[in-house]
Each structure stands twice: as structure tokens, then as C-alpha cells.
Amino acid sequence: ATTAEAQQVLAAAREAGVVVGCAPDTVLGTGIQTARKAIDDGLIGAPISATATMVTPGHERWHPNPDFYYQPGGGPLLDMGPYYVSALVTLLGPVVSVIGAASHTRNERTIGSGPRVGETVPVNIDSHVTGVLVHASGALSTLFMSFDAVKSKSPNIEIHGERGSLVVPDPNHFDGDVQLFALGAEDWQTLPVSAGYVDSGRGFGIADLAATPPGSEPRAGGQLAYHALEVMESVLASAKSGSAVQIQSTAARPAAVELTTLAAQVAEVSS
């Protein structure tokens, strides 16, 4: 969806008096939420910056019909960026401006599996995208999203603060270890799980929406989704223009998820 289409959805929801929820809901799991609690508890001091890294040589290697990944609306940022940008906003708050750059290394891709194996598909998007997000807090996030590079040892997300650094698990998953290197420490420390829905999976966003008090914005809601979409579209626009782009929307940093088991969540929704 484009931001224009998303505006229509949000306007229709307001007119109908209904609430909009939107994927990804992975930000509600113990991985991102434990990292968020570490930041809120001051374990890294004031956040300074973040890096978000997603590297794959291309989905055509495994997807039998990868055409759409390489047409407008596809590409590494719009494909995987929703997970990363939603996590960055959850961790560091909304974005006020962006600047981007992108490259296009190959004009076609060869399908590697399925009945069309060996067939080529055209590439009509930039397949490697970088960007810097300026958060309202002053923190700077650097995106590195690629369908061109082979592999990376960089963490999916890393947050740096005045008194420590955090390794944040894959935002495409709900769980994973959060690691802290505190100023003056000798090694990384794996933090205990301290927040988020335990053993959560796809669909927990619906349960969270159902438990959201009337009149309140869901954590995985339309405002966050729209803001993330505008950020991604603006990075791509900046890559074309060479100029920074101001973000017109904002989204309140979603409320934290306390450590919650499935049984407790079911009970809350049922009540």
C-alpha cells in the first residue's frame, strides 16, 4: 500500500468508528519488548544511535514466484522494513526526517526453485537501500537493507547509548536473546526475559487489539503502521532526489508490554 491508500483506510476507519490494527505484531514479543524495557530502565543511558541490518542475496533463490519482490512496491526496504522500522519506533520513538541512498546492481534475477526454475524475472526497483532516520528524540538510526549482499555478521538491530550498547534480536521473530555491553564491562551479558508476550506468535496483535481499552490506539495499530510506511516511502524518495525528506506523520511510542503469558492474555481478552 502507498501512504495515499493507507490514508483512505484510516479515514474509512474513523468514519466507521472502528480501530485499525496492522502487522507486524512481532514487536509485542519478548525480544523487542525486553530490549525496550532495558532502554526504559536506563541500562544504556540516553540512546544515541541504532543500526538495522537485513542482508540476503535475493528471495528468488528460494521463492518460486519472486516477480513481485522486484517491481514497484517490492524491494528490500518495503519487504522487510516494516519489521525493522516498527521496532525502531517502538524502541526509540517516532521519526522526524530521513535521508536515503539506493543502488540497482542487476537488471534481472534467475529463479532458483519450483516449476519456473531457471526463468529470469526483470528488476525494476532498487535492490540495495540505505538510510538514516532522525528520531524526534535526537537518536539516529541507520538502515542497511539489501537483496544484493551475501551475508552479514552484524546484529539485526543494535542500539547504542551513553552507558551501554544493546544487541536486539531479529524483529521478524517474536523472541530471541537481548544482549547488553555496559560501559566498563568485560563482555556481553544476556539479559533475562523481562517484558512482552511469552511464547507469542503471529496473531498476537489481534489479541492485543482486543484487549486495548476503547478509545486507545492499539500497540500494533494504524498510526504506527502509517508512520512506518511514510518513513520507508520517504527513504526511497530521498534516494531518488538526493535530499532529506521531512516526515509529516508521527506516532506515539507504543505502550510497553509487561511480561505476559498466553493464559493471562486470554483471560484479559475474555474479560
What is the structure's pLDDT at 261? 87
Question: pLDDT value at position 192?
Answer: 98
What CA–CA distance (Å, rounded) separates 243 from 214? 41
Distance CA 127, CA 56 (A): 10
Q: What CATH number labels 3-270?
A: 3.30.360.10
Q: Kindly give the interhelix angle for 222-241 and 75-92, rounded to the nearest 10 degrees.
A: 130
Overall pTM surpassing 0.85 (yes/no): yes
State the pLDDT at residue 270: 59
Listed by start position, the domains of the chain span 3-270
What is the C-alpha separation between 36 and 88, in angstroms, rounded?
Answer: 10
Cα(25)–Cα(208) distance, integer angstroms: 9
CA distance 166 to 11: 38
Dihedral-angle region of residue 30 (phi above 0 means left; psi in -120 to 50 means alpha; beta otherwise): alpha
CA angle 51, 248, 172 (to 5 degrees): 35
**How is residue 125 written as a grid cell?**
526497483
Using a CB cutoff of 8 Å and minimum separation of 24, what contacts does 104-111 make? Answer: 104/128, 105/148, 106/148, 109/58, 109/60, 109/66, 109/70, 110/60, 111/60, 111/63, 111/64, 111/65, 111/66
Taking only the tens of pLDDT, the chain with its 271 residues reads 699 999 999 999 999 999 999 999 999 999 999 999 999 999 999 999 999 999 999 999 999 999 999 999 999 999 999 999 999 999 999 999 999 999 999 999 999 999 999 999 999 999 999 999 999 999 999 999 999 999 999 999 999 999 999 999 999 999 999 999 999 999 999 999 999 999 999 989 999 999 999 889 999 999 999 999 999 999 999 999 999 999 999 999 999 999 998 666 556 655 5
The three cell numbers locating residue 176: 530471541
